[in-house]
A and B are shown apart, each in its own frame.
Chain A
Amino acid sequence: MGEYRHRLKDYIREDTMPHRFCVGCGCGTVLNAFTNAVEGLGLKPTRMVCVSGIGCSSWIPSPYFKADTLHTTHGRPIAFASGVKIMRPDLTVVVIAGDGDIAGIGGNHLIHAARRNIDLAVFMVNNMIYGMTGGQVAPTTPRGVKTSTTPHRNVEPAFEIAELVAAAGATYVARWTTYHVFPLMESMQNAMKKKGFSFIEIISQCPENYGRRIGLRTGNDFLKKYKEQSIRIEKARGMSEEELKGRITVGKLCDRDRPEFTAELHDLTNELVLNLKQEGAT
């Protein structure tokens, strides 16, 4: 009998374990789902580049997931990832970062990457708060919630971020919660396989800095809530705005084909290089 080795150990930088996520945090679940998704697809981490920003969920790839890793400035992982993907289209480039990075400070990069339809898989872990900095309001925080920078109440509406990305032109968009681990895994696989801009909004719990402000003290409290609140997109389609109040619609928002940016760019460059070659030959 050989030494027991966990089947996912090759996907984790072992020397970084145990991880530093808080008790009950959803980031561990996302890391678990992502690692299983990669293994299930048969993707070699040596053929991947993982890009993240600044915040708790950015720790999922940096430092935990074992692949080439780019831990960028706050808000810019999609822009950094674009540079990597354009010059190495053969690699699978995945962005994992939070709602602060992706929907907040870096929102412009998100919509433009979706419009270009660059072949990136972006997994946005949405805990609806700036968790790492202690619980400030985010563009994803629901109206009415008290946070450290909205101590009276939040008067802003939250972004419907998955809908926004779909409208901007992404080829694959889905929303899941950390309760839906298996559908999330499958969705991550579809996103990484899809040629084009893929986006998954993963609603995830932050018991420490969000939960305590809304009366959900543990990870389990959140998961029960996600289970109650979630409704499949197909089912939600026939429902009124009033009926959908306080619900989380989960599932696939779109899955379609559009010309992919990196391929178009390289086709154009190859065409121009070839023209010059032929000119030289005549």
Chain B
Amino acid sequence: MMAINQDRKRYLGRLEGKTYFILGDEACAYGAIYAGCDFFAGYPITPASEVAELLALELPKSGGICIQMEDELASMAAIIGAAWTGARTMTTTSGPGFSLMQENIGYAIMTETPCVVVDVQRSGPSTGQATKPAQGDVLQARWGTHGDHNIIALAPNSAQECLDLMLDCFDLADSYRTPVIMLTDGAIGHLRESVIMPRLSSIKHAARKLAKPGEEVFGGPELVPGMIHYGEGHNVHVTGSTHLASGMRDVSTPQVHDVLVNRIYKKIDENREKIVRIEQDITKNGKARAGVISYGATSRPAYGAVKRARLEGKKIDFLRLITIWPFARKQVAAFGQDLDTILVPEMNLGQISREIERFVDCKVTPVPKIGGIPPTVDEICQAIREVT
């Protein structure tokens, strides 16, 4: 397990270098196969079902296991259990299911279990507009589970990036021993685009850090301790309760909780610069007074609007968040340094714009759009005209 074995190579060998015209959801599934995903458990939900359907069809051909569980709680539980056997594991869902997974996502954080959760966001709250895209789970991804914690979440904006970022998700999960959220959305998930299947030789996987027998699995000198998998004879004790470095429960010593939760928090916080990825297009001739920050599906019309505004003679900068969490504080602060205003188009009522406000001195103008239809270039361009 946990490697691209012969079965996986044989399967991927038939794909590599080819161009497929596929959905973002399907690209996520292929990305998982490329990433060496050994085990998938999920529950059907629009607009995420196509990820599960493609994995059900293809993953077993490459030696992986794909099952449908009775609900999202069970799906999340099963992938955590499987991860402790050494497997690379994942599930997929959308808003309502993502809500149901939150308790066990917290369990994965507390037990430092690597796994990947794909959330193809749809319009909420509740059942909302079940078939329509949204970006309303951005803060749920950050704070959906209770207690102090950090999380890693990535947001693709094309079908190709759905595939590419899945590889990063699995690597980040293993590198930091944490659940990683692939925060895609219904617009990208159901977008059909050309996707190039990467060459196997171009892919390098991060290896899961393993502890040596006798080493502590839940603490020690490093921010990220190594794992010892089940079935190796080391009586590993995994609990969601506050525990010592040995894994044994100690829920009454304040310092034990303090040390554990702070370390789990810090392992992501202190590696922020290694984790964070952004993309930007800064005006070359003369300083811009306004900028646009966006992510996921919205970043496409947002960038289109920036280009159109430039044709109209406006100087305007653009930044796309690829990593949503941990937040690109430094990069966003630098981006906003000389600007008067930053516009933030997103398919919610202003979730990331509030986060941006915390790190820049200039004015932040949310450009919210809900209702299930992504904003158009015209709409965002109009918002730009209003502030410049």
Say whether A associates with B.
yes
Q: A87-B38, A273-B62 given as contacts; is B77 within 8 A of A79 (CB)? A: yes
Chain A 74-90: CB-based contact to B (< 8 A → 1; otherwise 0): 01100111111011101
Q: Main SS of chain B's interface residues?
A: mixed
Hey, what's the 0/1 contact readout for A247-282 against B, CB within 8 Å counting as 1? 000000000000000000110110011011100100
A47 to B231, Cβ gap below 8 A? yes
What CA separation (Å) do A75 and B237 show in the bound complex? 18
Q: How many Å from the CB of A47 to the closest CB on chain B?
A: 7
Q: Is there contact, CB below 8 Å, between B248 and A63?
A: yes
A273 and B63 form a contact (CB under 8 A): yes
Q: Given contacts A80-B77, A80-B81, A280-B10, are A90 and B107 in contact (CB under 8 A)?
A: no
Q: Does B285 belong to the interface (CB within 8 Å)? A: no
Asked whether any CB of chain A lies closer than 8 Å to the CB of B349, the reply is no
Cβ contact within 8 Å between A49 and B74: no
Q: How far is the CB of B41 from chain A (nearest CB, A)?
A: 7
Query: Which residue among A69, A80, A109, A265 has the maximum number of chain B CB atoms within 10 Å of its CB?
Result: A80
Q: Output the least CB separation between A103 and chain B (Å).
A: 15
**Interface assignment of A70: CB less than 8 Å from any CB of chain B:** yes
**B81 engages A73 (CB within 8 Å):** no
Interface residue A180 (Cβ < 8 Å from any Cβ of B): no
Inter-subunit contact B10/A277 (CB<8 Å): yes
- Cα-based distance from A90 to B232 in the complex (angstroms): 12
* Contact call B236/A68, Cβ cutoff below 8 A: yes
Shortest A178–chain B CB gap in Å is: 25
- Name the distance in Å between B358's Cβ and chain A's nearest Cβ: 32
Q: A13-B235, A68-B231 are in contact. Are A108 and B71 (CB under 8 A)?
A: yes
User: When the two chains form the complex, which single residue of A47, A75, A81, A273 contacts B81, counting CB atoms closer than 8 Å?
Assistant: A81
Question: Could you tell me which residues of chain A, from 80 to 135, have a CB within 8 Å of some CB in chain B?
Answer: 80-84, 86-88, 90-91, 108-109, 112
| Contact of B230 with A79 in the complex, beta carbons under 8 Å | no
Most interface-central of A73, A80, A83 (chain B CB within 10 A): A83
With A63-B237, A76-B77, A79-B69 in contact, do A87 and B60 touch (Cβ < 8 Å)?
no
> Complex Cα distance A47/B232, Å?
8
**Within 8 Å CB of A280, what residues of B?**
10
Distance, CA A16 to CA B243, complexed state (A): 13
Q: A47-B231, A72-B77, A273-B61 are in contact. Are A87 and B39 (CB under 8 A)?
A: yes
Stretch touching chain A among B84-92, B116-124, B253-261: B84-92
Answer whether A72 and B107 are a contact pair too, CB < 8 Å, given A16-B248, A80-B81, A84-B85: yes
Residue from A51, A67, A109 within 8 A of B235 (CB atoms):
A67
Question: Which of B70, B84, B249 has the most chain A CB atoms inside 10 A of its CB?
Answer: B70
**Within 8 Å CB of B63, what residues of A?**
269, 273
- A175 in the interface, Cβ–Cβ < 8 Å? no
Give a binary string over B271-306; 1 marks a CB under 8 Å from any A CB, 0 the rest: 000000000000000000000000000000000000
How many residues belonging to B are interface residues under a CB distance threshold of 8 Å? 48
B319 close to A (CB within 8 Å) = no
Q: A interface, how many residues as a size bin?
A: 35 or more
A69 touches B238 (CB 8 A): yes
Neighbouring B residues of A68 by C-beta, 8 Å: 84, 230-231, 234-236
For A87, what are the chain B residues with a Cβ–Cβ distance below 8 Å? 1, 38-39, 65, 82, 85-87
Residues of B within 8 A of A195 (CB): none
- The residue on A at minimum CB distance from B77 is A79
Cα separation A233 to B7 with both chains bound (whole Å): 50
Q: Which residues of B contact A146 (CB under 8 A)?
A: none
Nearest to A113 among chain B residues (CB) is: B70
A71 and B77: CB pair below 8 A? no
* Chain B 45-88 interface mask (CB, 8 Å, partner A; 1/0): 00000000000000011111101011101110111111111110
8 closest Cβ pairs, A-B complex: A83-B81, A83-B78, A79-B77, A83-B82, A79-B74, A71-B239, A46-B233, A80-B81
Q: A47-B231, A112-B70 are in contact. List 13 more A-B contacts (CB 8 A).
A: A46-B233, A62-B239, A67-B235, A68-B236, A71-B240, A72-B107, A72-B240, A73-B240, A82-B77, A86-B39, A86-B65, A276-B7, A277-B10
A and B contact pairs by CB, cutoff 8 A, 16 listed: A68-B84, A68-B235, A71-B237, A72-B107, A72-B240, A73-B103, A76-B74, A79-B81, A80-B80, A86-B65, A87-B38, A87-B82, A87-B85, A108-B74, A272-B60, A276-B10
* B contact set with A: CB distance below 8 Å: 1, 7, 10-11, 38-39, 41, 60-65, 67, 69-71, 73-75, 77-87, 89, 103-104, 107, 230-231, 233-241, 248-249
On A, residues with C-beta under 8 Å from B are 13, 15-16, 45-47, 49, 51, 62-63, 66-73, 75-76, 79-84, 86-88, 90-91, 108-109, 112, 265-266, 268-269, 272-273, 275-277, 280
